[in-house]
A and B are shown apart, each in its own frame.
Chain A
Amino acid sequence: MSLAADAPAGVGAARPRGMTATGLIVIFLGWELAARALAGAYLLAGPTEVAVYLWQNARLMGRALAETLTNAAAGFVLGNLAAVALAALALIVPRAERAIAALALIVFCLPLVATGPILRVVFGPGAGPQIALAALAVYFTTLVPLLVGLRAAPAAWFDLVASYGRGRGAALVHVRAMSALPYLFAGLQIAAPAAILGAMVGEFTGAERGMGVLAIQAMRALDVEATWALATLAAVTSIAAYAALGALGRALAPEAPPALLAPPPATQAAGRRWGDQAVHMAVVTAAALALWQATPWLLGLNAFFAKGPGDIWAFLVTGAGAAEHRATLGAALGETALYAVPGYLAGLALGAGLAMALVLAPALATVAMPVAVALRSVPIVTTAPLLVLLMGRGAVGTTVIVAVMVFFPTFVACLHGLRQAPGQALDVADSFAAGRLARLVHMQVPAMLPAFFAAARMAVPAAVLAVTVVEWLATGRGLGALMALSASLSDYGTLWSCVVLVAVLSALGYAAVGAAERRVLSVYAAEQLAR
């Protein structure tokens, strides 16, 4: 038996049945006790009540699940195909990679309040918006790890391909595709719950059936059993999809990751680096504006609700009341940033911390994994009232909800990253009888860094999205509340200004993480900086 197969890198692999059963019992017991403790508050139904509800309403639930899952699956496939296509484009035109990633980010962080109604107008009645929103929810979290994975191969392998006189095509098939597989599957695993959630939220734009529709009805009807039965169904489905993709990924992945050992990149003069950065920003901004200008025209959207860059420029800068508009938006932006930043940092720490804890104590995974996937796949609309009751409507409650949203992609990406510790290096550690902690600190954490930073970048829009949802549902402040209000009052100037702010906020956060990443990775994972 190889040492690598023995390593804690196998977190999530087959475990003794007894341990899984213990984990499940712990989860269900905790859930049931919490529900009993909160009885009468109309906030949480326990597993027995949920089971009874599901049994009594099996046909209704089955039809809703089929509807939502079909849309989620279609969105999952389309979104991930788009991610692969974008990654391929970035490989063919390496100079365009950063611009592609930046534009992909901007599209990813467009708030639902703005895009939902437009998708409904574009697609008309039916499942179009549900599928589109599911696809939009997944493509970015697949693209980012994929771009990392396509570079996560030893330089010597590329030399080998070149020495056979083969070109970039062969390198792609024999080297990059293999090295990207684990990263691709990390992306797909993150995407599975996101697709289900995206399809459910898509139903909020006006649908006749599906789990999202039932969830809205149940919450209004104070039907706690139905609310949590739907949440349970979404969570169980997500966990199943997550586990299936994980198993598939392990079956396809190479046995032990190779040592990458890339030379540090030639350092550029600081002046040139800033120049590059400025050019990049200008290109991305111009492309984003062109896309924004062209989309309403291409789709034939009415200018009443589809505002263009010129409209927003007038609204914020040249038009009547521009100063007042800027003041309103500035205040909202301040409130949003105040909650988003601590929640983001807490979520990152929690995600990376839990992934490392699981390496040290793999038994924890039986409890932690299902809870982690469930937290991500249960609609925040369902969990937010519970978290608000427990944590309050103040800074703590908001921060916790943001952290929950950020935590999951970070956790999954780090878990995969930790498995990228080179087999040879771990063999060395074993021959010195190094403990788990030493292996973690010296081998696995450095190997995890590219994945961690990819997650940290992906988590920026997730944090902004989470904070705006909480503001809309619980605190009534900030950009989230302003967007909901302006949508209901047909104040599309304010709404689109908020969209721009959210996009800019996300892009700046993403760039800041990217800058930190380059400094760290130039030491620990220089292959990621190769151009």
Chain B
Amino acid sequence: MIRRPMTRRGVLAAGGAALALPALPRLARAQSPVTLQLSWLHSVQFAGSYIAQERGLWADAGLDVSLNPGGPNAPVEPPVISGDALVGISAADYTAAAVEQGAPFKILMVAMQKNPFVIASLPGNPVDAPADLQGKRLGMALANRPVLEALCTLNDVDIDAIEMVPTQYSAAPLLNGEVDCLLCWETDLPVAMAIQGVESRTMLMADFDYSVHSQTYIATEDSIANRRDELVALLRGEVQGWDAYRADTDAAAALTVETFPDLGLDLETQELQAQRQVPLMFSDLTEANGFGWWTDDTVAANVETLALLGRSVTPDLWDRSILEEVHAG
């Protein structure tokens, strides 16, 4: 099989790359080059992958894996649909939207069983349940309005009683009193506040019926049909990496900080983030069936929440065949 056919884009990109003088990846010896497109900048959020890389789990399986970082202006779908990345890390709501637009994606594995969205507030003016949101000023990206609508519908809360304030993704508006609470992830802004010595409260939306799988591994139907072995090997490395992560989150944080010295990552922050990720990623379900697993019930709950977000999907969006092969050993 020809992995990278000579394309016009390939030629132009090679020309551009020659101009740009990038650091070329080490030439692999008879290994399949595979790219995993991450959804954000490198951090302990993807530490399972770094462990797999560092322990040679992929190299032993004949894969030469590149972990491409994401960023604020780096959607995951284009590289995956272009074939530049074999697998991308997305979330069920984004994947559902892309599929509605005609992308042939399937979800192969679910790293975050519980959605990481929280409402963060300060102890003096706490939001501990969705009903507490009424009368509060909520700082959020207006793009997340459907998320709030879904939460309100699921919990019989009047959304008009919440004042939405469009803010940047930062805890500063909460701390300087512009807003009473923030819509953010359990694992970033609350961690930043804790490291700055500010105690905050978080209300995990997943605890109030907001069921959207996050940090999901997606691939195209074409890859699932034609590059199965590579997908199985890639995800097997991920599963083993994440199991090792769970065994020692501090070591995972230390590895992350060492691997990316140019990112200026703070060890203490990474350790705390690593701990806070555990309850989102590991549950009785993964305990019984292995990392990344899902059942018909969890998918049904997702389909229901996604419908509230305006996405009509069927359980076909999830394809467990690769993961079953991974866990079958």
Which A residues have a C-beta under 8 Å from some C-beta of B?
Answer: 40-43, 57, 60, 63-64, 67, 74, 78, 112-113, 116-118, 120-128, 131-132, 201, 203-210, 213-214, 216-217, 219-223, 226, 297-302, 304-305, 381, 384-385, 389, 393, 473-477, 481, 484-485, 487-493
Does B71 touch A at the CB level, under 8 Å? yes
From B17-25, B120-128, B229-237, give the one contacting chain A. Answer: B17-25
Q: How far is the CA of A414 from the CA of B192 in the complex (A)?
A: 44
Binary A-proximity of B129-162 (CB < 8 A = 1, otherwise 0)? 0000000000001110000000000000000000
A490-B9 in contact (CB<8A): no
State the majority secondary structure of interface residues on A.
helix
Which B residues have a C-beta under 8 Å from some C-beta of A?
Answer: 7-10, 12-13, 16-17, 19-23, 41-42, 66, 68-75, 77-79, 81-82, 84, 94, 97-98, 100-103, 141-143, 165-173, 175-176, 178, 188-189, 192-193, 195-196, 260-266, 269
User: Considering the complex of A and B, which 7 residue pairs feature the smallest CB-CB distances, nearest first?
Assistant: A126-B22, A476-B166, A476-B142, A300-B9, A209-B262, A41-B176, A490-B98
The residue from B78, B167, B193 contacting A305, defined by CB atoms under 8 A apart: B78
A120-B175 in contact (CB<8A): no
A217-B265 in contact (CB<8A): yes
A116-B73 in contact (CB<8A): yes
Which residues of the partner chain A approach B141 to less than 8 Å between Cβ atoms? Answer: 476, 484
How near does chain B come to A203, taking the closest CB pair, in angstroms? 7
B262-A208 in contact (CB<8A): yes
Which of the listed residues B74, B103, B142 has the most CB atoms from chain A within 10 Å of its own CB? B74
How near does chain B come to A80, taking the closest CB pair, in angstroms? 15
A214-B101 in contact (CB<8A): no
Which residues of the partner chain A approach B102 to less than 8 Å between Cβ atoms? Answer: 304
The residue from A116, A125, A490 contacting B94, defined by CB atoms under 8 A apart: A490
Question: If the complex has contacts A208-B263, A476-B142, are A117 and B75 also in contact, measured as CB distance less than 8 A?
Answer: yes
Which residues of the partner chain B approach A42 to less than 8 Å between Cβ atoms? Answer: 170-172, 175-176, 196
A132-B9 in contact (CB<8A): no
Question: If the complex has contacts A220-B169, A300-B8, are A120 and B74 also in contact, measured as CB distance less than 8 A?
Answer: yes
Q: How far is the CA of A57 from the CA of B78 in the complex (A)?
A: 36
Question: If the complex has contacts A203-B71, A298-B8, A490-B103, are A124 and B17 also in contact, measured as CB distance less than 8 A?
Answer: yes
How near does chain B come to A489, taking the closest CB pair, in angstroms? 4
A57-B264 in contact (CB<8A): yes
The residue from B20, B75, B175 contacting A488, defined by CB atoms under 8 A apart: B75
Which residues of the partner chain B approach A493 to less than 8 Å between Cβ atoms? Answer: 101
B166-A300 in contact (CB<8A): no
B9-A128 in contact (CB<8A): no
Q: How far is the CA of A216 from the CA of B195 in the complex (A)?
A: 17
Which residues of the partner chain B approach A473 to less than 8 Å between Cβ atoms? Answer: 168
B12-A298 in contact (CB<8A): yes
How near does chain B come to A299, taking the closest CB pair, in angstroms? 5
B176-A123 in contact (CB<8A): no
Q: How far is the CA of A355 from the CA of B17 in the complex (A)?
A: 41
Question: If the complex has contacts A393-B166, A481-B142, are A489 and B94 also in contact, measured as CB distance less than 8 A?
Answer: yes
How near does chain B come to A218, taking the closest CB pair, in angstroms? 8
The residue from B20, B21, B69, B77 contacting A304, defined by CB atoms under 8 A apart: B77
B8-A207 in contact (CB<8A): no
B20-A222 in contact (CB<8A): no
A125-B101 in contact (CB<8A): no
A128-B20 in contact (CB<8A): yes
Which residues of the partner chain A approach B17 to less than 8 Å between Cβ atoms? Answer: 123-124, 126, 128
Which residues of the partner chain B approach A118 to less than 8 Å between Cβ atoms? Answer: 78
Question: If the complex has contacts A128-B16, A128-B20, A304-B81, are A216 and B168 also in contact, measured as CB distance less than 8 A?
Answer: no
A43-B176 in contact (CB<8A): yes
How near does chain A come to B43, taking the closest CB pair, in angstroms? 8
Which residues of the partner chain A approach B19 to less than 8 Å between Cβ atoms? Answer: 74, 78, 131
Question: If the complex has contacts A213-B41, A475-B166, A489-B97, are A206 and B8 also in contact, measured as CB distance less than 8 A?
Answer: no
B176-A389 in contact (CB<8A): yes
How near does chain A come to B315, taking the closest CB pair, in angstroms? 20
B77-A490 in contact (CB<8A): yes
Which residues of the partner chain B approach A302 to less than 8 Å between Cβ atoms? Answer: 78, 81-82
The residue from A299, A475, A477 contacting B8, defined by CB atoms under 8 A apart: A299
Question: If the complex has contacts A40-B176, A41-B176, A385-B168, are A204 and B72 also in contact, measured as CB distance less than 8 A?
Answer: yes
How near does chain A come to B278, taking the closest CB pair, in angstroms? 20
Question: If the complex has contacts A123-B17, A127-B22, A389-B178, are A304 and B168 also in contact, measured as CB distance less than 8 A?
Answer: no
Which of the listed residues A121, A204, A205 has the most CB atoms from chain B within 10 Å of its own CB? A121
How near does chain A come to B17, taking the closest CB pair, in angstroms? 6
The residue from B16, B23, B66, B173 contacting A122, defined by CB atoms under 8 A apart: B16
B195-A221 in contact (CB<8A): yes
Which of the listed residues B7, B10, B263, B266 has the most CB atoms from chain A within 10 Å of its own CB? B263
Which residues of the partner chain B approach A126 to less than 8 Å between Cβ atoms? Answer: 17, 20, 22-23
Which of the listed residues A112, A301, A304 has the most CB atoms from chain B within 10 Å of its own CB? A304
Q: How far is the CA of A297 from the CA of B16 in the complex (A)?
A: 17
Which residues of the partner chain B approach A116 to less than 8 Å between Cβ atoms? Answer: 73-74
The residue from A132, A216, A476, A487 contacting B16, defined by CB atoms under 8 A apart: A132
A220-B71 in contact (CB<8A): no
Q: How far is the CA of A122 from the CA of B168 in the complex (A)?
A: 29
15 A-B pairs (CB sep. < 8 Å): A42-B175, A63-B262, A67-B262, A113-B73, A207-B69, A208-B262, A213-B263, A214-B264, A226-B264, A300-B7, A301-B82, A393-B166, A474-B168, A485-B143, A493-B101
Which residues of the partner chain B approach A476 to less than 8 Å between Cβ atoms? Answer: 141-143, 166
Which residues of the partner chain B approach A210 to less than 8 Å between Cβ atoms? Answer: 262
Which residues of the partner chain A approach B42 to less than 8 Å between Cβ atoms? Answer: 208
B75-A490 in contact (CB<8A): yes
**Sample of 7 more A-B contacts, CB < 8 Å, known A205-B71, A217-B264:** A42-B170, A216-B41, A216-B72, A223-B192, A300-B10, A385-B168, A484-B143
Which residues of the partner chain A approach B176 to less than 8 Å between Cβ atoms? Answer: 40-43, 389
The residue from B41, B165, B171, B178 contacting A217, defined by CB atoms under 8 A apart: B41
B71-A206 in contact (CB<8A): yes
